[in-house]
Amino acid sequence: MNLRQSLFRILAASMCLMLSASGYAERRQMKILAVGNSFTVDAVQDDLVPMAAADSIDLIIGYPYKGGTSLKQHLQYITADSTIYNYRKATPSGPMPYRPGSTMKQAVEDDDWELVILQTNYSGGSGFREEYYPYIDQVRDSIKAHLAHPDDVRWGLYMTWAYDKDSKHKHFPKYNNDQNLMYSMIAEVAPFVMENTDINIIIPAGTAIQNLRTTKAFGDRMNRDGYHMNLDHGRYTVACVWYEALTGRSPLGNSYRPKELSPYQATLCQIAAHLAVQNPYQVTDMSSFGPDPLIAHFGDSIPQRLELGTTIGPLGGLKKLSYSNLRNLRNSDMRHIEVSLTGLVNGDNPMSEKELQKRFRKLKHDADSAGINIWSIHMPYGIDYDASSTDEKKRRACEAKYRKYIDLVSVLEPEYILFHPSASSITPGCRTEHISQAVKTISNLNKDVKRIGAAIVVENLRGPHLLRPDGTERGLGRTVDEMCTLMDALPGDIYAAVDLNHIANPEKLIRALGGRVKSLHVSDSDQTRDCHFLPGRGTNDWPEIIAALYETGYDGPWLYEIKQKEVEVYGEMTSAYNWAYRSYLEKLYDQSEL
């Protein structure tokens, strides 16, 4: 019996509510305009449209987005016809291109909406009646004036949730830092607004979240940063509530679930949502549902999760780093960063050493304040930074520049300094000579790196083909054998960083290097180019990669090196790891059942 069959049998035996799949065959379309802020994005961006598609409903959802916007601010923006919104539209064929610089009027007139959903204010004001009036009536009337068929439109109220119990949100003190109080205040205000604003549909997402918080499988792990929804079970649960509230169809048994959720987890989310729609202003205790069967199977022997980190690329690079960004990163369960010097000391606009010293001092202060560890420094690479140059004069110049940069970054107190063993292209037929020169350079720098309290890691460079289009050869470390040859020639206290995007089947390289692997560059690849995808978007075998890490005793972070465009919010990186880790556990479970 495989894991999924087992989970469904456990669920069938323990469930006290009847689950039945909807049998609707006739396909229909619904057009929804959702007005709110980032909490509305949490509801409609990922799961709502595919969930409806699985039940023969094509949803088209428009949502003019401006983070943190209150009803009062919406009214101001509408009155001024302000181009402040980033208008987004989700369709069955996928999201349409964002339209920054949009007005609310443009969003309203973009389609023939049949449903308009208003969010229960910004989170800090969602539990206070005085924060709604007169603004919600005026927002409603302003939107109605531009609807194609205003008399045919139905209106709904999206009731949001209380923060995590330990949330650090600046508005939590307004609720005495009490989650239960915050929920009860929101649940008291929502029906009052419904009655006084001529709105007839309630979307009780906040109640569904409280329901799910009573389960053993989830508990108070609903928010990715203390207030926004977790990208997996959080967003999915909220989407389930929206689906049933707007269509009248129960989410129970719906075949769609995010790949990050197990069947058991998805079913709990569906139940929590369904119960909320049945009892929109009252929490239902779901503690009778047992813990996640997969987690329970392993008990105390469950493999320890890795800590998470990222290069600063997804944060916008050094120039956009701030305490706020770093704190948001930490709130997304990310603990480590890697700072790259490429582009800072070379390229078209290098910074002066004085400016870099100033920025690094600030970065260290902000990182320490945010609870972020500076795990590693990526030394610059490029044509002028070839540690393996067979021109001895150039090699020595490269070594000297590296030595200067090691001193420069000492203020950041990194744990590791990462080097490329060569440039990305080297002289054809001279790999042995290049390896010898790389060993000389990196070995010479070892004492300098140790002096600042760090250690060296050497990264494998990219294959898969030896020759580049220009006739030169690709850089060093492109195969398992070559990377092992290079590491064997280096002192034992110099280690490896495995880039999972640079080599096919990177688990083979991890196993071959064993305990020498001290750091990672995590990304997915299709093995044809430098992809740097988020895990799950390429061809890497993630359960096998994680198995190799555990087998070799790897204890460093799961450190992403992905393109900035791969994620919109930092929590997507956490979510991708959760999926990969769970995939590994599922594989272990299924193997144990054989």
Q: How far apart are CA 168 and CA 341, in angstroms?
A: 33
Nearest to 87 by CA among 98, 72, 76: 98
Backbone angles phi, psi at 369, to 5 degrees: -65, -35
Q: 513 near 484, Cβ under 8 Å?
A: yes
Tokens of 110: 């973009």
**Residue 477 backbone zone (phi > 0: left; psi -120 to 50: alpha; other: beta):** left
- pLDDT by 10s per residue, the chain, length 594: 444 454 444 445 444 444 444 444 578 999 999 999 999 999 999 999 999 999 999 999 999 999 999 999 999 999 999 999 999 999 999 999 999 999 999 999 999 999 999 999 899 999 999 999 999 999 999 999 999 999 999 999 999 999 999 999 999 999 999 999 999 999 999 999 999 998 999 999 999 999 999 999 999 989 999 999 999 999 999 999 999 999 999 999 999 999 999 999 999 999 999 999 999 999 999 999 989 999 899 999 999 999 999 999 999 999 889 999 999 999 899 999 999 999 899 888 889 999 999 999 999 999 999 999 999 999 999 888 999 999 999 999 999 999 999 999 999 999 999 999 999 999 999 999 999 999 999 999 999 999 999 999 999 999 888 998 899 999 999 999 999 999 999 999 999 999 999 999 999 999 999 999 999 999 999 887 889 999 999 999 999 999 999 999 999 999 999 999 999 999 999 999 999 999 999 999 998 876
Assign 46 to helix, strand or coil: coil
Q: 381 near 423, Cβ under 8 Å?
A: yes
DSSP 250: -
Q: How far apart are CA 152 and CA 112, in angstroms?
A: 10
Angle at 518 between CA 515 and CA 522, to 5 degrees: 120
Instruction: Identify the pLDDT of residue 17.
Output: 41
Instruction: Identify the pLDDT of residue 594.
Output: 61
Quick one: CATH architecture of 29-300?
A: 3-Layer(aba) Sandwich (3.40)
Q: How far apart are CA 158 and CA 190, in angstroms?
A: 9
CB neighbours of 149 closer than 8 A, spacing ≥ 6?
112
Please provide the DSSP assignment of 472-534 as one string. Answer: PEE-S--SHHHHHHHHHHS-TT-EEEEETTSSSSHHHHHHHHGGGEEEEEB-B--SSS---BP
Alpha helices in 67-166 (DSSP H): 71-79, 104-108, 135-144
CB neighbours of 2 closer than 8 A, spacing ≥ 6?
590, 593
Q: 254 near 54, Cβ under 8 Å?
A: yes
Instruction: Identify the pLDDT of residue 175.
Output: 97
Nearest to 375 by CA among 340, 333, 325: 340
- Kindly list the distances between the CA atom of residue 115 and the CA atoms of 62, 97, 194, 262, 443, in Å, as whole numbers in the listed order: 10, 22, 15, 32, 67
Alpha helices in 90-131 (DSSP H): 104-108
Q: Where are the domains of the chain?
A: 29-300, 308-592
- Kindly list the distances between the CA atom of residue 285 and the CA atoms of 17, 159, 208, 292, in Å, as whole numbers in the listed order: 13, 19, 11, 17
CB neighbours of 163 closer than 8 A, spacing ≥ 6?
123, 169, 172, 175, 179, 182, 223, 226, 227
Asked if omega into 134 is within 30° of 0 (cis), the reply is: yes
Tokens of 561: 């090196």
Q: How far apart are CA 194 and CA 37, in angstroms?
A: 19
Q: Taking the chain, what is the end-to-end CA distance rounded to the nearest angstrom?
A: 8
For the entire predicted model, the pTM comes to 0.85
Cα dihedral 309, 311, 315, 317 in deg (nearest 10)? 160
Nearest to 431 by CA among 359, 377, 357, 482: 482
Give the chain's length: 594
Q: Give the dihedral sign, CA 556/557/558/563.
A: negative
Q: 477 near 418, Cβ under 8 Å?
A: no
Tokens of 14: 């323990």
Q: How far apart are CA 511 and CA 549, in angstroms?
A: 8
Instruction: Identify the pLDDT of residue 18.
Output: 40
Backbone angles phi, psi at 90, to 5 degrees: -100, 135
Q: How far apart are CA 348 and CA 5, in angstroms?
A: 57
Bridge partners of residue 309, in order along the sequence: 336, 559
Quick one: CATH architecture of 308-592?
A: Alpha-Beta Barrel (3.20)
Instruction: Identify the pLDDT of residue 433.
Output: 97
